[in-house]
A and B are shown apart, each in its own frame.
Chain A
Amino acid sequence: MTKSNVMEVPPKGGFTFDLCRRNTMLQQQGAKLPKFRKTGTTIVGLIFKDGVILGADTRATEGEIVCDKNCEKIHYLAPNISCCGAGTAADTENVTDMVSSQLVLHRYATGRESRVVTALTMLKSHLFRYQGQVSAALVLGGVDVTGPHLHAVYPHGSTDTLPFATMGSGSLAAMSVFESRYKENLTKEEGMEIVSAAICAGIFNDLGSGSNVDLCIITKEGKEYLRNYQQPNPRSYSRSKGYDFKIGHTAVLSTKITQLRQHVQVLEGDAMEEE
């Protein structure tokens, strides 16, 4: 048997927890772990007569501060499938991008339109392998040959299949609207109205959610993405005289001007013409 230099390959797949011990040790010594940008969030989905409607707010928070007043929480997975994401923004972005790419390859391999259960299985397997360390809570919805589907996906990898679902810090406010107003076989207009009302409930009653309402309506005809469908939070006041910063407002301590032109020597050919 030829002796082959086999490199030490780390175990395939899954999460290695070695660094978690180091992190707890550092924390106990007083080091502060970096804050993640979370999306606070209210995300919802419901099934209506002809398909699925997804809704989301647009506020992203870093602790108590709003870091993005108009971010996009409804992610593209396939031409007939979309996914709303709550939790750590980097996690939701990356996990949906990853599954979206995998679905493209899958479509080439199968020669068929993607199915919602395929996206669901890819997402839940990934999240389970990472044992909840990937903090992504998703509302997945779409329409395929088998009909409209709506699922809620949790960070540890479990899923629920539901006629209406809400996730995020504003999920309770939104669910209260759904529970009182949802019924089967809603029309598109009724569905849009109920989804907007649910998102608004999250926006106004949950401090982690805010700004605008995004909607995404998916039917077998296609997908309609209504970015900023409602904007119920305009700025309340602007100073009448504005802010004027005249020259001299900031003290100039020293000035140094370097002529660039003198460093360029034309050795042969024509000097470039000035435009």
Chain B
Amino acid sequence: MSMVFAPRMAEAAPSSHAGASWSPYDNNGGTCVAIAGADYCVIAADTRMSTGFSILTRDYSKIHQITEKCVLASSGFQADVRSLQKNLDARHQIYQHQHNKQMSCPAMAQLLSNTLYYKRFFPYYAFNVLGGLDNEGKGCVYTYDAVGSYERSGYSSQGSGQTLIMPVLDNQLKSASPLVLPPRESSTPLTENEAVDLIKDTFASAAERDIYTGDGVEIVIINKDGIRRETMPLKRD
């Protein structure tokens, strides 16, 4: 008599995740910040572009000027960011042909929101901060999520260092809580130089603790005299 027995299969070592599949997105890291003042707006972004644990370049601009008075800073997947920038540029050109004037910052803010929501089911992997001067010459900052939800505020940060920088800005710029009545002005009471100083310090701090932020920071300042650029080196490790 032969004994036939099916040997009990040893339990397969549990796998920690289902088979990895291809993703159309990548995250190139980086942080963007904007602060609005009474008559100026400061927009800044670091210049490091990375993928995984590697650096692709130390010198990449995430800031794009769309109109005379309106600048877009975006972190996330830079291929999508570039495509978004080109899209907005084209739409702005058409607007200029049709209306014989440049788009105002609030108008561009709405256009950006619509453009992002248009791709609600295959989003632009872009975390945007739009900054500029509104129709009255006051600084304005608009902050977005990946699918177009936006809000005007006095300051904002997006990207990998967002959670490191935002609490510092909240502490220094004393944002009005949405529950406070009457609602305070959305512009913050800092001078232009103080705002730039604060931004440099927050980026230096973020570069200490966030591995995706570093190399350099590009700062763009918009006021009634025009647009001016500054750069500052950051830690390269």
Contacts and interface: CB of A to CB of B under 8 A. Distances in A.
A240 B198 CA distance: 9
B140 to A, nearest CB: 25
A47 to B, nearest CB: 27
Interface in A194-219: 203-211
Interface in A4-19: 17
Most buried by A among B54, B197, B234: B54
- A40, A203, A237: residue with the most chain B Cβ atoms closer than 10 Å: A237
Contact of A207 (B50, B197, B200): B50
A66 to B, nearest CB: 5
A184 interface: no
Contacts of A161: none
A205 B54 contact: yes
B211 A61 contact: yes
A210 B200 contact: no
B14 A65 contact: no
A238 interface: yes
Interface stretch (B69-77, B79-87, B88-96, B202-210): B202-210
A239 interface: yes
Contacts of B204: 235-238
Given A205-B55, A207-B50, A66 B197 contact: no
B197 A239 contact: yes
B197 A240 contact: yes
Contact of A209 (B13, B234, B237): B237
Contacts of B197: 239-241
B37 to A, nearest CB: 17
Interface in B145-176: 160, 164, 172
B53 A206 contact: yes
A235 B208 contact: yes
A146 interface: no
Interface string B8-26: 0001011110000000000
B55 A17 contact: no
Given A237-B204, A238-B201, A65 B237 contact: no
Interface in A235-275: 235-241, 243
Given A206-B53, A236-B204, A238-B204, A66 B211 contact: yes
B236 A204 contact: yes
A30 to B, nearest CB: 13
A21 B55 contact: no
Nearest to A65: B209
A233 B11 CA distance: 49
A65 B207 contact: no
A221 interface: no
Interface string A45-80: 000000000000001010011100100000000000
Given A237-B232, A239-B200, A210 B14 contact: no
Given A24-B14, A205-B54, A237-B204, A66 B232 contact: no
A24 B12 CA distance: 12
Interface in B22-58: 50, 53-55
Contact of A237 (B50, B160, B172, B201): B201
B235 interface: yes
Given A21-B14, A207-B53, A64 B237 contact: no
Contact of B235 (A27, A40, A235, A239): A235
18 contacts: A24-B14, A24-B15, A27-B16, A61-B211, A64-B160, A64-B210, A65-B164, A69-B209, A169-B53, A204-B236, A205-B54, A207-B212, A236-B207, A236-B232, A237-B203, A237-B232, A238-B204, A239-B200
Interface of B: 11, 13-16, 50, 53-55, 160, 164, 172, 197-198, 200-201, 203-204, 207-212, 232-237
Interface of A: 17, 20-21, 23-24, 27, 40, 59, 61, 64-66, 69, 169, 203-211, 232-233, 235-241, 243
